[in-house]
Amino acid sequence: MNRIKTDICIIGGGSGGLSIAAGAVQMGAKVVLLEGHKMGGDCLNYGCVPSKALIASAKKAYAMSHGGELGVADAKAKVDYAAAKDHVADVIATIEPHDSPERFEGLGVNVIQEYGRFISKTEVQAGDTIIEARRFVVATGSRPFVPPIPGLEDVNYYTNENIFDLRDQPKHLIVIGGGPIGLEMAQAHARLGSKVTVIEGMKALGRDDPELAAIALDSLRAEGIEILEETPAERVSSGKAGITVHTPNGDVTGTHLLMAVGRQVNIEKLDLDAGGVVYDRKGLKVGDNLRSVTNKKVCAAGDAAGGLHFTHVAGYHAGLLIRSMLFGLPRKQRTDHIPWATYIEPEMAHVGLSETDARKKYGGALDVVRFNYDGNDRAIAERKTTGMIKVMVVKGKPVGASIIGHLAGELIGMWAMAIANKMKMSAIANTVLPYPTISEVNKRAAGAYFSPKLFESDRVKFVVGFVQRWLP
């Protein structure tokens, strides 16, 4: 048995773990990184990267058959589903070297390609190596949650971990789960030529702003995607006709089944009890400083920290932990400035408080300003006028923003910056943007906050009238 002593031992080679490893080792810390599966984690191999690559293929196919309003004759796209998957694989392969063991070993990280498990409060074992570290970081990520639906174990079904390996295009794809993952894959496959039915036990996009979700679902249904809401999957079976999902509202039969109902954290292999680390089904129990509440040598990053499941959150956690572990600086995580996006078309994005939560918290002190995409000249020029932005404002500062529309995932960045830095609406309104751009949607929303105060105020009109009488 080999023994290693190190400053930091990171369990998990996904986004958070890799960011911590790269930053810490380049600042002089000794780092051991453990990864028993694929470097890059879920995001590179099964999540963000492959899904956006497939969505890009789907957008091209859709654009070919929807150019008439721009003066370009519609043409039926000839989709090669296997070639689209080749594109997905090539995108992963292009990014892969950046996350490879060779790159991190070149930086000075000791990469051990084995799963790690605690054997004491100060030691982790990986294969035939025992690592003793001053700090441990659990960054093991998450995997698809597959609910115990009767009959599911007897049929072939897909999750995001193997749907991108599928080479034969589904004739009729059934998606169980009407959240972001399910609807992104539903739209992508529909645009590539598959018939798609989405089955959701509650409300589709139920965690999003209802006003924006309604716009999104109308758009998806207009593309021919069948979305069955408040329709729980009671049982699954297979036969000559294909795979059938039995629901209280009738049966749905298709050729392929995708499960997209949520995520569960990867902690089973860690033997956290041996490490004196308390946890629950959401992940490790940590404080605002991301340290375990029972073993101060152990920290968590990303999904394992029990909060929001986004790659950029793992990167954010990495920055906080590097500061605290390397420099001893007290840092606390916050979530009010964390944005997220759903990459259907039109895109959806959000940061901060929703309108509902903001009203509960601030009551009458809240202002909600809106601006529709059909008032943006660039959106009109590109025929991308479906959408709107709403911003929740308290005492001149944004506390939340929700956007649905073209490039919403890009636009939300301005509001994330404003909330993170406690900026005022005037900072957005005073920003000069190139014309015509979609980003003017943000500026117009800020303008909508000030317009009533300027144009409908008797006091402003009195002051202007007084000044005009005395100006030379």
Tell me, yes or no, whether 176 and 258 share the same domain: yes
CA dihedral 418, 263, 119, 128 (to 10 degrees): -100
Tell me, yes or no, whether 20 and 109 share the same domain: yes
464: pLDDT strictly greater than 70: no
Check residue 309 and give its pLDDT.
94
The token duo for 98 is 């950046």
The tokens 């946890």 sit on which residue? 279
Check residue 249 and give its pLDDT.
95
Distances in whole angstroms, Cα of residue 324 to Cα of each of 171, 289, 336, 399:
52, 8, 21, 27
Give the total number of structural domains in the chain: 3
Tell me, yes or no, whether 187 and 275 share the same domain: no
Check residue 457 and give its pLDDT.
64
Amino acid at 231: T
229 belongs to a structural domain:
yes
Tell me, yes or no, whether 300 and 180 share the same domain: no
Q: CA-CA distance, 303 to 284, in Å (whole number)?
A: 9
User: Bridge partners of 340?
Assistant: 350
Burial tier of 143 (Cβ tally within 10 Å: 0-12, 13-18, 19+):
middle
**CATH code of the domain in which 315 resides:** 3.50.50.60
Neighbours of 376 (CB within 10 A): 25
426 belongs to a structural domain:
yes
387 belongs to a structural domain:
yes
Tell me, yes or no, whether 317 and 369 share the same domain: no
Tell me the pLDDT band of 455, cut-offs 50, 70 and 90.
low
Q: Would the CA dihedral through 23, 26, 30, 34 be positive or negative?
A: positive
Burial tier of 66 (Cβ tally within 10 Å: 0-12, 13-18, 19+):
middle
The token duo for 275 is 């490490």
390 belongs to a structural domain:
yes
Residues 343-356 have a mean pLDDT of 98
Mean pLDDT, the chain, rounded, equals 95
Q: CA-CA distance, 374 to 119, in Å (whole number)?
A: 60
Burial tier of 400 (Cβ tally within 10 Å: 0-12, 13-18, 19+):
buried
Tell me the pLDDT band of 93, cut-offs 50, 70 and 90.
very high
DSSP 353-369: --HHHHHHHHGGGEEEE
127: pLDDT strictly greater than 80: yes
Tell me the pLDDT band of 453, cut-offs 50, 70 and 90.
low
Are 340 and 354 in contact by the 8 Å Cβ rule? The answer is no
Residues 137-145 have a mean pLDDT of 97
SS3 99: helix
Q: CA-CA distance, 361 to 122, in Å (whole number)?
A: 43
Check residue 217 and give its pLDDT.
98
Q: DSSP letter at 158? A: B
Tell me the pLDDT band of 462, cut-offs 50, 70 and 90.
low
Percent of the chain with pLDDT over 90: 94
Last residue in a domain, options 283, 307, 327: 327
Domain housing 410: 339-455
Question: Which pLDDT tens digit goes with each residue over 203-255?
Answer: 999 999 999 999 999 999 999 999 999 999 999 999 999 999 999 999 999 99
Percent of the chain with pLDDT over 70: 97
- How many residues are given for the chain? 472
Check residue 137 and give its pLDDT.
98
Question: Which pLDDT tens digit goes with each residue over 275-290?
Answer: 999 999 999 999 999 9
Which long-range contacts does 311-318 make (Cβ < 8 Å, 24+ apart)?
311/15, 311/43, 311/47, 311/48, 312/338, 312/339, 313/338, 314/14, 314/15, 314/16, 314/19, 314/139, 314/141, 315/15, 315/16, 315/19, 317/16, 317/290, 318/15, 318/16, 318/19, 318/20, 318/23
Tell me, yes or no, whether 403 and 415 share the same domain: yes
Neighbours of 331 (CB within 10 A): 16
Tell me the pLDDT band of 460, cut-offs 50, 70 and 90.
low
Check residue 330 and give its pLDDT.
86
Tell me, yes or no, whether 181 and 310 share the same domain: no
412 belongs to a structural domain:
yes
**CATH code of the domain in which 429 resides:** 3.30.390.30
Question: Which pLDDT tens digit goes with each residue over 307-337?
Answer: 999 999 999 999 999 999 999 988 899 999 9
47 belongs to a structural domain:
no
Tell me, yes or no, whether 174 and 286 share the same domain: no
Tell me the pLDDT band of 467, cut-offs 50, 70 and 90.
confident
Tell me, yes or no, whether 235 and 208 share the same domain: yes
Tell me, yes or no, whether 136 and 256 share the same domain: no
Check residue 458 and give its pLDDT.
67
Distances in whole angstroms, Cα of residue 306 to Cα of each of 9, 82, 179, 263, 431:
20, 37, 19, 11, 37
Q: CA-CA distance, 336 to 426, in Å (whole number)?
A: 20
367 belongs to a structural domain:
yes
Alpha carbon 315 to its chain centroid, in Å, reads 12
Tell me, yes or no, whether 270 and 352 share the same domain: no
Q: Which residues contact 351 (CB under 8 A, 6 or more apart)?
A: 337, 338, 339, 340, 400, 401, 412, 415, 416, 419
454: pLDDT strictly greater than 60: no
Distances in whole angstroms, Cα of residue 411 to Cα of each of 155, 211, 308, 341, 467:
42, 18, 20, 10, 38
465 belongs to a structural domain:
no
Q: Which residues contact 305 (CB under 8 A, 6 or more apart)?
A: 283, 284, 286, 290, 317, 333
Tell me, yes or no, whether 135 and 271 share the same domain: yes
